[in-house]
Amino acid sequence: MKKVFTVTSEDKTTRARTGQITTAQGPVLTPAFVPDATLGVVKHLSSLELKTMGLQMLLGNIYHLWLRPGVPVVKKMGGLHQFMDWHGPIITDSGGFQVLSLVYKNKMGKVLANGIKFKDHLTGTLHFLTPEKSIDMQLGVGSDILMVLDYPVLENSNLKDNKQSVKLTTAWAKESKNYFDKHSRKDQILMAIIQGAGNMPLRKQSFEELEKVGPFPGYGFGGPPLNEKILAYTASLIPQDRIRYVMGGGTPRDIIKAVAMGWDLFDCVIPTRNARHGLLYTFKGEVRISQTKYKLDKKPIEADCPCLACQTYTKAYLRHLFKAKEPLALRLFSLHNLTFYMRFMKRIRKSIETERFSALLKNY
């Protein structure tokens, strides 16, 4: 196993730590938040704006890129970095979560021992996603950090489904790694995903089986990160020198609590999705811009925020744009929320380095 992650400092009262992930496109300082660029774009924002706000890495969704514009198109255009003009690190997911959502929520497919047969949500075309195909597509778009195809289940899944999830996740991780080892560049990183839902023994079993397949330089938390006890336990299973990745987490409060458990990497649609609904984040709390109290408010969203929205406009004007359904509002709110997340993660890293993390955690 090649070394791609280094711990640089540790908090004395929690399991929080700072670190650095080494990728082909440069380092990623952790704890880090990664926004979802589902279709090769963070909604409403340009790659230049993302770079300017201090964003370190983006997440591409291989399921959606597979359907639009198609992996061959991205590959012919020089890979996802070139295609979207983003020259920082890119992490891609396997597509499994989206595909399994179609299978279970919409009854549009079936899980087999060697992959997932499903109909896509756009045209109803039949597809077959295997561990090898997922890795092949992630390699095809030029991802820096790839995720194995896994079989996620919900927190309240029955024991039979949970055991099947762990079994297939291990088998698919082995197939994913075999394909990755044969076809990847030396500077690309493959991470596995620990399943087991809310069952501690199965979480332990999943990790131990994946370690035998790997070992992998990093592990994701499989399934929705809703159970804090299970989230903390899963972090404790992962060795100190590996990347710990909470997939789909979360709000600022969720993130700082997970950092205290020892998690390093986070991705979620929350900052941009909530921006489109008029929910804005500040260090003093949430701002729901549609509220009447902001109708004549001459102050910015947050006085010391460097984003365009805060440096240029009042809350009154921003509320007007939002109520009038002007597209500019969604763009400005997305800029603000992601800028806040970058400042928030930087503040977390600094607090760990200066032994002030516990005080910051207490505030949340």
- Catalytic residue annotation: 93, 267
Distance of CA 103 to the CA centre of its chain: 22
Pairing of strands 58-61, 32-35: unpaired
Contact status, residue 114 vs residue 129, Cβ threshold 8 Å: no
- Reduced to 3 states, what is the DSSP secondary structure of residue 355? coil
Contact status, residue 205 vs residue 245, Cβ threshold 8 Å: no
Pairing of strands 109-112, 115-119: antiparallel
Q: What do you get for the CA distance between the two ends of the chain, in Å?
A: 37
Please report where in the chains the tokens 């207490």 appear, as a residue.
Answer: 362
The alpha carbon dihedral of 246, 273, 26, 23 has a sign of positive
CA dihedral 240, 361, 224, 272 (to 10 degrees): -110
Helix (H) or strand (E) holding 360: helix 357-363
User: How far is Cα 28 from Cα 55, in angstroms, rounded to an integer?
Assistant: 10
